[in-house]
Chain A
Amino acid sequence: MEQNQVVKGSLTTIIMKLLEDNGRMYGYEITKAVKEATGNRMNITEAALYPALHKLVADGMLVTTTETVDGRMRKYYMLTKKGKKETVSKIQALKEAMESIHMILNPKLSNG
């Protein structure tokens, strides 16, 4: 539960990273991928996922294509050129933030 609070702030980065690795994904697939990658420790709720996806589309970071799968319409999300560039900088920023947090949590180790 507490992990989910941490994830909230970096949700768009997580989504973009997953799309960078997988090419295109649909909503449910993204939630499942996060669960599987973290061994069920992280859970992205629909209430957080869809606003983030819709915002990324509106900002021009993602585009969608719709296909009929198993008798229903499925919307796939993909990174745009702008989105690909933004993913690189977002991942970099997240890594730097994580390193900073690590230094705070482990002061002796990081100070040598």
Chain B
Amino acid sequence: MIFPTTPSQTVGPFLAIGLPWADGPYAVPEGTPGAIRLAISVRDGAGILVPDALIETWHPDPDGRFPDLHGYGGPSEMPGFRGFARSGFEEGDGHYEIVTVKPGSVPLPDDRMQAPHIDVSVFARGMLNRCVTRIYFADETDANASDPVLGSVPAARRETLLAQPTDDGYRFDIRLQGPGETVFFAI
């Protein structure tokens, strides 16, 4: 490191002026076969829904490939797959939504396989830096049981990382603080 990094600051209460995009929630084009809806809620330490957050997600396609640079097993060949989505509102109610496809598995650098997961950034007023978490899928019992990252999380807290199946996708509830506090990661 030659130059130190620029410090993080909060997105503040008015992020909706600049950050939400019309197509933000769509990591895949609308109408993509097999698309799922991720219903995400954010609650604070008092259990109150957080209406002014921004949620961002990033994950590979069902083959475990990213729409990214060369060199990581090849780029995604799924038409229109962005892999990235963003949800935030000028007047929200604490519920966020992402439309995507369920990710495939990708390895750790030592080739052990990880369970399917989605990286998540949470930004909000009152948060001086983003909080990073991961969404795993409650119905991937076997893959989750052998996942090295989940295995590094205290057993009693693993459930906070599991999205629960719904009629059209999954539900993932984020608790920033307090009982059932979501596991957040340092990267």
Q: Do A and B originate from a single complex?
A: no
